[in-house]
Structure 1
Amino acid sequence: MIGVLGSLAEYERELIGERTALKRAASRNNGTKFGRPRKVDDAEHIATAARMKADGHTAKDIAKYLGVSRATLYRYLDPTAR
């Protein structure tokens, strides 16, 4: 009896996963964005950061100006990260 209940629970869990995946795919097709929003999404700010880096400012100063961490700054300045 416990084995039958266990297999029913496993089957139900698989169904939940399938429904979740379908809903997620439908939401993506409708334009819903998942995940944490970007801290700096403005292309102008990113261009300013690139200009500041080219002018010789340190990453620490640029990150402080934008209000982000250095790791986030490096991610925005990396052309392969997009």
Structure 2
Amino acid sequence: MVLIGYARVSTVGQENGLETQKHLLEEAGCKRIFFEKVTGTSTTKRNELKEAIQFLDKGDTLIVTKINRLARSIIDLNNIVNELNIKGVNVRFLKENIEFQAGENNNSLQTLLFNILGSFAQFERDIIVERTGEGRERAKKQGKHMGRPSQDKRAIEKALKLYDERETNGLSVNDIAKMTNVPRSTIYAELKKLKG
């Protein structure tokens, strides 16, 4: 019997969350941990989860820190747990303190609790998506620009002037970018436009 961990964060910027999950899974005795940086709703792109499922053998246990790290949809959650149980793999959720034993009739109260917690995870995700959409619509109605802020034209003009004068002023592109708050990529893109 081998203990295998699965850790997931939704975005690349959440490395701290991944480290926390790794620590908890190691404390739980996981010999190998599969790491994923992808949203829980993306069922087709979770390659590490697919690899973990293939790696697990009968009698092994998949350990996840909490239910919403495995999936955010209650249907997907039940499908994954059922697939693993049929394969003879146990599934344990640390935060919720729930374990589903393969090949056993898990108690009905535990199954109910699991489904309620899974439903809450899905509900929480849906609320976040809904609020984000509403906030975006409100901002558009107020005339706010959505997406990356556009660069100040005067700052770009200053950056280009400094770039043209770099032989006399001795500034590098990095120096110019720091002084004007115009990214190097923007400076090069504007120079390309002028040449083109």
Higher RCO (CA-CA < 8 Å; seq separation 6+): 1
Answer with 1 or 2: which has the greater Rg.
2
* Alignment TM-score, normalising by the size of structure 1: 0.50
Flag the structure with higher helix content: 1
Flag the structure with higher strand content: 2
